[in-house]
Structure 1
Amino acid sequence: MTDTPGQILSAMRQKNPLVQNITNFVAMNIAANVMLAAGASPAMVHAKEEAGDFARIAAALTINIGTLSPYFLSGMKEAAKAASEEGKPWILDPVAHFATPYRSAAVTELLALKPTVIRGNASEIMALTGAQSRGQGVDSGDKTEKAEDAAVALARDHACVVAVTGEMDFVTNGFRSVHILGGSDLMPRVTALGCSLTALVGAFVAVRPDRPFDATVAALAMFAVAGEEAALTANGPGSFSPLFLDRLASLSPETLDAKAKVVAA
């Protein structure tokens, strides 16, 4: 059975899932606001002393390595282990994992804990498979299309869903793939929106843990539609950000289904 993005959005708002987000310092505020606007309940719990315990009560977990440190990494591993043990979905955002050996080693450890979904830009996804990428820090130097083969291989190797996000999004489970169109060129000019998308994926997967592909597509479709509509009245990135939150909050399931641009890849 396949749900539409609007049906999954409706289920997410009805359940208001508690999602644990171990994310970076830059993203904490905007990610929490994005989740609240969309209809989920965020918790920014990262301390190793409680991260594992909290993962057992949360509906889903998201991990973003943007501002990585040994203390953060310990909390990430405790939470990912607990989520896996409890059968809870968790999402990995391997931010700039190719930039330093420390980040690369951290992602290798986290991948071994079997994420349900990996969400990254094209350069990050390509580099996870050993492919040559043109990434610069957190910014992708590659187009989504260039990362599609790597995403399919990564999804098959790790038995997970892989989402490549950019001007056009690509989601695959290794056997089924789609493109999601929409969004706005203002979105990359607002810091941490990509990180916030990872958190939103966690909220959607929380209510469809048995269908992470459909849930991931729904989250990306909501982000794209809200971004496209917010840009219609924005004067720049400063005014776009609050308009985007407002549009996430007001977007109805019916409008999402009518305006989502999801096409088979």
Structure 2
Amino acid sequence: MTTANKSPGAAAGNLLSRACAAASPSTWPSGAPDFFSRRRFVQAALALPAVLALPACSNETQRPALARTFFSADEYRFIQAATARLIPGDDKDPGALEAGVPVFIDRQLSGPYGRADRWYMEGPWAAGSDQQGYQLEETPAQLYRKAIAGVDAYCRERHDGKPYAELSPEDQDQVLHDLDENKIELEDFPAQAFFSVLWQNTQEGFLSDPMYGGNRDFAGWKLIGFPGPRYNYVDEITRYGDPYTMPPVGLLGRDGTRMRS
């Protein structure tokens, strides 16, 4: 199987997330306090040409949790904990958790992407290369379900019965590093294959259109100064050199919490 497949909801965020390759795990500094540095994420995203001056975003009161569409309660806690370490928030800007990345991943896995409806999945199965995209026999939904169970079992064996979500931030970071470096043995597929998909989906959820559940309140777009798919710039095209201060707009308008049903 040789396909380079992306989730449907990743279309708006794919170009943005591609810029984050400059901050891939292989370039992380050793001894960093967070698993992934917010500074490195933002610097990589700012490599895009469409960087404009937009109002900064700030954390808001947490909204009621949305009903899960795929994950069990324990699986969702894993996703919340892992994505929060991959793109951590701070007192000024939201991270993956505040931007709704777990909601994005949950909704994607319950739909055509999770089932691999549009992919060729008949084999033969080979390791492939990064350029060939997803190469596993499991659908993304099956991959997440098996991998989360395997990682939680690994954590319980080594941390007094605690699953991943209950570990300290430092231990959570180490588990993610071990996944990326294939130091954890999972059934049916390499640990790094799961980490790669998790990291890709986390970036997509942080930078995709809010209609897919992530990038809540345009958190990711505001962070990098991306205005969204605005329909026209008639009033701005002659204002050379002036900062662009209009708020972002998504495919469903300016409500950064509105999702596709």
Return the TM-score normalized by structure 1: 0.24
> Quick check: which one's helix share is greater?
1
> Quick check: which one's strand share is greater?
1
Q: Larger radius of gyration, structure 1 or 2? A: 2
Q: For CA contacts below 8 A with separation 6 or more, give which structure has more relative contact order.
A: 2
